């Protein structure tokens, strides 16, 4: 049974504190929800078509339901599902362009979730996150699609909203959303660890290892400066590059990944200690861990000169930075201590902006996937959707 009303869902981006790439190879990652979100709006249509509008990447496409229905018999149990969709959409093998991956992930989730009763819908996905910059935009996109399609098709409850609250799903329903979002991430990334969709689903702060998700109940309030180099890169390509290096030099690369794992463990221990009583020594250790991990990430081949520039600029003001997400460009995080002078942060931001980078001071630990009533959306989100 499809629902007959407009549905608004959002999911947060993520910041990986430590463990990117190593987490793909079974090591631990620490990741937190980011207060920049992706929003999806679904509206019923009456003309037996499906329309998807993705303004962040300039894509607007429409299909007849009858056309999509012809895919279903071979799609449902076929191990070659993705190939069927690529043929349908005319997408060539190994393709990594933004629009093709977004459309493939959408079709994959729409057909997998809605099954035999394909609904005629109008879908808009709009994000506050930069696309392909290391902040989990692909996971937020897949989590939004999975949650909205599952709800729309009646496969999970439609959380009851009132005028003031944002309501969420039960743990079992969140598990299903996360599983399907992971399938979508596989379409986009090739071989994702699952950490990004876990944060998009549950939000907060998580320890993630080999599919096992452990929420970190209490973490100190950390202030972070996020800087987007705006250098484009593809997570899929970077993850594949690390795997290649690992296969070529196993005895050299495996210890580096193990050391990244140990950095995550030590960071987690320090964060726990900080909740019991914060001292500046804790910050010093966190800074050392950031420096160590940034070197490791360079060793495994996911650094970039733009990220080194961020490290150099922030270091000249006594601050410590590392790349976050897949690297190769994209974003870096800089730890801001509680005793960091506001004027220093402003100077650093100005210097980084002069390089053409974009900076945000951010809070971390945002809420996971949520349903919204249109009236409870913030002004900027309402405005963004008003013309779409
Ligand atoms: N708002 C969006 N609209 C349409 N497609 C999107 C959107 N956000 C992400 N995508 C899809 O996700 C792809 C980017 O995913 P990718 O994993 O490379 O980067 P990321 O998720 O931002 O970074 P990371 O995985 O390192 O955190 C885009 O090429 C596009 O296909
Ligand atoms: C690079 C990576 O570790 C994080 C991307 O945000 C890939 C993944 O975990 O799937
Ligand atoms: Mg991604």
Query: Are 92 and 101 within 8 A, CB to CB?
Result: no
**Ligand 2 mutation pick, 211, 325, 327, max ligand atoms within 8 A of CB:** 325
Q: Which residue CA neighbors atom 24 of ligand 1 most closely?
A: 134
> Ligand 1 mean position to 329 CA, how many Å?
14
- pLDDT confidence of residue 163: 54
Look over the chain and give the mean of its residue pLDDT values, rounded to a whole number. Answer: 93
Residue 160 has pLDDT above 80, yes or no: no
Residue 161 has pLDDT above 70, yes or no: no
Query: Quick one: pLDDT band at residue 388, thresholds 50, 70, 90?
Result: confident
Measured from the CA of 196, which atom of ligand 2 is nearest? Answer: 6
Give the ligand with the smallest distance to the CA of 135.
1
Give the ligand with the smallest distance to the CA of 137.
1
Give the ligand with the smallest distance to the CA of 182.
2
Active site residues: 138, 196
Residue 223 has pLDDT above 80, yes or no: yes
Interacting residues of 187 by C-beta distance below 8 A, sequence separation 6+: 82, 101, 104, 105, 108
The architecture CATH gives domain 218-362: 2-Layer Sandwich (3.30)
Query: Quick one: pLDDT band at residue 159, thresholds 50, 70, 90?
Result: confident
> Ligand 3 mean position to 166 CA, how many Å?
25
Q: Residues lining ligand 3 (ion), CB within 5 A?
A: 138, 235
Give the separation between CA 23 and CA 136, rounded to whole angstroms.
Answer: 14
% of the chain beyond a pLDDT of 90: 78
Interacting residues of 345 by C-beta distance below 8 A, sequence separation 6+: 225, 336, 361
Give the separation between CA 141 and CA 317, rounded to whole angstroms.
Answer: 36
Adjacency order of strands within the sheet including 320-324? 320-324, 331-336, 223-228, 358-362
Per-residue pLDDT tens over the stretch 193-217: 999 999 999 999 999 999 999 999 8
- pLDDT confidence of residue 165: 60
> Ligand 3 mean position to 306 CA, how many Å?
20
**Ligand 2 mutation pick, 192, 234, 328, max ligand atoms within 8 A of CB:** 192
- pLDDT confidence of residue 96: 64
Residue 122 has pLDDT above 70, yes or no: yes
Give the ligand with the smallest distance to the CA of 234.
1
Say whether the ipTM exceeds 0.85. yes
For ligand 1, is residue 25 a contact (CB within 6 Å)? no
Q: What is the average pLDDT across 114-143? A: 95
- pLDDT confidence of residue 387: 85
Look-up of token digits 């057909």: 111
% of the chain beyond a pLDDT of 70: 96
Query: Is 167 exposed, middle or buried, given 0-12, 13-18 or 19+ CB atoms closer than 10 A?
Result: middle
> Ligand 3 mean position to 187 CA, how many Å?
11
**Ligand 2 mutation pick, 196, 302, 330, max ligand atoms within 8 A of CB:** 196
Return the domain boundaries, the chain: 7-214+367-386, 218-362
Per-residue pLDDT tens over the stretch 268-289: 999 999 988 878 799 999 999 9
Measured from the CA of 55, which atom of ligand 1 is nearest? Answer: 3
Beta bridge partners, 59, equal 54
Residue 372 has pLDDT above 80, yes or no: yes
Query: Is 368 exposed, middle or buried, given 0-12, 13-18 or 19+ CB atoms closer than 10 A?
Result: buried
Element (H, E) at 209: strand 205-209
Residue 323 has pLDDT above 60, yes or no: yes
| Alpha-carbon distance values, 96 to 159, 188, 193, 240, 245 (Å) | 35, 8, 18, 12, 20
Query: Quick one: pLDDT band at residue 167, thresholds 50, 70, 90?
Result: confident
In the chain, alpha helices (H): 65-69, 72-75, 81-89, 98-114, 137-152, 171-189, 195-202, 235-248, 250-276, 280-299, 305-315, 342-354, 379-386
> Ligand 3 mean position to 223 CA, how many Å?
23
> Ligand 1 mean position to 134 CA, how many Å?
8
Instruction: Select the more confidently predicted residue: 118 or 1.
Output: 118
Q: Using the 8-state DSSP alphabet, how is residue 2 labeled?
A: -
Pocket of ligand 2 (CB under 6 A): 16, 20-21, 23-24, 136, 189, 192-193, 195-196, 235, 239, 325-326
Q: What is the average pLDDT across 230-251? A: 96
Q: What is the average pLDDT across 144-155? A: 95
Measured from the CA of 16, which atom of ligand 2 is nearest? Answer: 6
The distance of Cα 246 from the centroid of its chain, to the nearest Å, equals: 24
CATH class of segment(s) 7-214+367-386:
alpha beta
For ligand 1, is residue 138 a contact (CB within 6 Å)? yes
Query: Quick one: pLDDT band at residue 52, thresholds 50, 70, 90?
Result: very high
- pLDDT confidence of residue 76: 79
């Amino acid at each position: 049974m499809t629902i007959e009303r407009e549905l608004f869902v959002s999911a947060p981006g993520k910041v990986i504190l430590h463990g990117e790439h190593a987490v793909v190879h079974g090591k631990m990652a620490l990741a937190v929800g980011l207060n920049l979100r992706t929003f999806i709006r679904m509206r019923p249509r009456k003309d037996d078509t499906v329309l998807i509008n993705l303004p962040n990447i300039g894509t607007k496409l429409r299909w007849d339901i009858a056309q999509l229905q012809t895919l279903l018999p071979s799609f449902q149990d076929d191990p070659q599902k993705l190939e069927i969709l690529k043929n349908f959409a005319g997408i060539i093998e190994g393709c990594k362009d933004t629009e093709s991956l977004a459309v493939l992930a959408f079709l994959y989730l729409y057909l997998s979730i809605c099954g035999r009763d394909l609904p005629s819908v109008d879908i808009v996905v709009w994000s506050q996150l930069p696309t392909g910059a290391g902040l989990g935009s692909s996971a937020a996109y897949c989590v939004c699609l999975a949650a909205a399609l599952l709800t729309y098709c009646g496969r999970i409850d439609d959380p009851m909203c009132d005028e003031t609250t944002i309501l969420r799903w039960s743990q079992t329903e969140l598990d299903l959303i996360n599983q399907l979002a992971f399938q979508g991430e596989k379409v986009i990334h090739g071989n994702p660890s699952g950490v990004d969709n876990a944060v998009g689903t549950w939000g907060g702060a998580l320890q993630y290892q080999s599919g096992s998700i452990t929420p970190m109940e209490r973490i100190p309030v950390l202030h972070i400066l996020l800087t987007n180099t705006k250098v484009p890169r593809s997570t899929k390509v970077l993850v594949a590059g690390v795997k290649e290096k690992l296969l070529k030099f196993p005895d050299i690369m495996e210890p580096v990944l193990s050391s990244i794992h140990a950095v995550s463990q030590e960071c987690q221990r320090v964060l726990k200690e900080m909740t019991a009583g914060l001292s500046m020594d804790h910050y010093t250790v966190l800074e050392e861990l950031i420096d160590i991990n940034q070197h490791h990430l360079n060793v495994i081949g996911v650094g970039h000169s733009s990220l080194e520039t961020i490290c150099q600029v922030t270091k000249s003001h006594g601050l410590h930075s590392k790349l976050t997400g897949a690297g190769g460009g994209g974003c870096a995080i800089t730890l801001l201590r509680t005793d960091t002078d506001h004027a220093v942060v402003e100077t650093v931001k100005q210097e980084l902006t002069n390089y053409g980078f974009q900076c945000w001071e951010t809070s971390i630990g945002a809420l996971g996937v949520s349903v919204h009533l249109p009236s409870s959306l913030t002004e900027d989100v309402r405005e963004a959707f008003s013309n779409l």
